[in-house]
Structure 1
Amino acid sequence: MSIWWSLHLRREAATVPLARRMLLGAMDSAGVDPEISYDLAVALSEACANAVEHGSGGADGYRVTACIDGDTCHIEVTDGGPGFPAASAGRPAAPPPPGAAAADAEDGRGLYLIETLADHVRFANRPQQGGAVVSFDKILKWRDDALVRAG
């Protein structure tokens, strides 16, 4: 069985928790282990926050698509902004060295959090439409009372 959903959201900070709650609700209903759900929710929040911050100012907003297929969850966030710099498409720039940024800095860690929390991550640009694509997968673990299971 597979479950998927897609949201087209305005480029506003208030949409980030909406996407996260949708994902957490789907994961809980399907019976995904809460720790895995939390990792995916944090990664999704970071991807959405980047789309809100770096996406274009146009009416296009950004899109979130999530799919639970078998034992894997795939999430993709696309925006209409300038995309990743050509030199870093496919991989974010290296993080600043320790001590270079304030310990409580809010910027510059999101893509690394996504890479840390997901099993497979891809950063790309949309050549025809413009914009960035952040997609990531995570192998799921299930609660004992799960309604949906792989296999």
Structure 2
Amino acid sequence: MSIWWSLHLRREAASVPLARRLLLGTMESAGVDPDISYDLSVALSEACANAVEHGGDGALDGAAEAYRVTAYLDGETCRIEVADSGPGFGAAGGDAGRLSAEAENGRGLYLIQELADHVHFGTEPGLGGAVVSFDKILKWRKGASPLLAV
């Protein structure tokens, strides 16, 4: 069994905890270990906060006022993608290639990189905008019967 969901959220600070709570609820229902759930929820919060802060270009069509969060729990892996309509990371990945804990900017991206097993920073094909996707191998709560077991 697999679980996936997608949210289209307004670029407002209040949307960040909404996405985080939905992810934590999904993980709890699936029987995921709380430490793994916490790591993924912090990474998701950082990606959403970046979309809220940097995810628009001031366009009047309304697209710049929203971003998308998609989560996939499939087998032993959780994959999360956050996409916005902002300037993106540029042709060379923008600042994503120079992440460090001491950097003036980009500490949220650095944190995502540290909490997830695999991270990709890119640009939405054909649309522009940043896409942050990351995944993590799932572990299960002690004594839980994983909902996602194959």
- TM-score in terms of structure 1 length: 0.87
**Alignment match of 2:76 (pick from 47, 71, 74):** 71
Tell me which residue corresponds to 1:53: 53
**Runs of 5+ consecutive residues of structure 2 not aligned to the other structure:** none
Tell me which residue corresponds to 1:116: 114
Q: Secondary structure at the match of 2:98?
A: coil
Q: Is the 8 A contact 2:124 2:130 kept in 1?
A: yes
Moved more, 138-147 or 127-136: 138-147
Tell me which residue corresponds to 1:104: none
Q: Is the 8 A contact 2:8 2:68 kept in 1?
A: yes
Distance, in Å, in 1 between the alignment partners of 2:80 and 2:27 is 12
Q: Is the 8 A contact 2:2 2:74 kept in 1?
A: yes
Indicate yes or no: 2:71 matched with 1:81. no
Tell me which residue corresponds to 1:140: 138
Distance, in Å, in 1 between the alignment partners of 2:2 and 2:95 is 27
Across the two proteins, how many residue pairs are aligned to each other? 144
Moved more, 121-130 or 12-21: 121-130
Distance, in Å, in 2 between the alignment partners of 1:46 and 1:92 is 17
**Runs of 5+ consecutive residues of structure 1 not aligned to the other structure:** 102-106
Q: Percentage identity across aligned positions?
A: 69
Q: CA deviation digits over 1:33-73, x for unaligned, max 9?
A: 00000000000000000000111144220000001000100
* Structure 1 position 86, deviation (Å): 2.3
C-alpha RMSD of matched pairs (Å):
1.9
The aligned amino acid for 1:121 is V
